[in-house]
Amino acid sequence: MSIQNEKDLQGILKAGKFVAKVRELLKLLAKPGVSTLELDLAAKQEFEAAGAFSAPKFDYKFPGFTCISTNFEIAHGIPKKETILKDGDLVNVDVSAKLDGYYADTGISFIVGNSNETLQKLCDTAIEGTMRATKQAFTGNYLRHIGKAIHSAAKENGFTVIKNLAGHGTGKKLHEEPQVLVYEDKRDHRKLNQGLVLAIESFISTGSQTAFEESDGWTLVAGNRQGHLSYVAQCEHTVIVQNGKPIIATL
């Protein structure tokens, strides 16, 4: 969607503030010995208290209020009581909601407890890539420059990107046009319009550039034809395109 009036702006900002709050809560609660289902139930309480709808559950019948992925899982991980977090686990929480008719989407990857250098660098690069990309979300800029910023951050830090996953428009639905690639497609000459709402996200990988769906029909992993899996970190913010400095609704 594109922001048309003050009501739209405040609606996106309110939804963005809510999902950011839940994201940070889950990050705080994610400790060794806690199950991903426990995290999701904490999110459920926040959704119900705010009168918000879980976007993946509401729109796609996802079996959880949030997507919580661990280790080699990239995205769309199903919260489970059997998935108990351990020290050193790579975790991604992805929180998207519909609140008062407006959608916002955010996510972060982080390490539970003690980290190793490579995984911490991976998470830091995902944040760096997304923050660089948000700076490209200004009126009249090329859409492809968002992906260029993400891919550049990955390459500079010795990583790759998952090329078949992308960000997207959002606002009145969870997933809207345009698709926001994590690399630059120089054939794409579309420009960004004032007020466009985007979910900008990075998918930074230790090796593979391709995501595959697991047999549960939801969970995504990254690997190659030899069956070797890669770690992937994600960072996502809902951003409003502006003439000057873009507005990040989910900080």
156 annotated as ligand-binding: no
Q: 94: annotated binding-site residue?
A: yes
105 labelled ligand-binding: yes
213 is in an annotated binding site: no
Q: Is 175 annotated as a binding residue?
A: yes
- Is 185 annotated in a binding site? The answer is no
Using an 8 Å Cβ cutoff, are 244 and 194 in contact?
no
Dist. CA 150–CA 204, nearest whole Å: 8
Q: Which long-range contacts (CB under 8 A, 24 or more apart) does 28-33 make?
A: 30/85, 30/91, 30/93, 30/110, 30/112, 31/85, 31/112, 31/113, 32/85, 32/86, 32/87, 32/112, 32/113, 33/84, 33/85
Is 176 annotated as a binding-site member? no
Q: Which of 236, 200, 213, 226 is nearest to 76 (CA)?
A: 213
Binding residues for a divalent metal cation: 94, 105, 168, 201, 236
Binding residues for substrate: 76, 175
Binding residues: 76, 94, 105, 168, 175, 201, 236
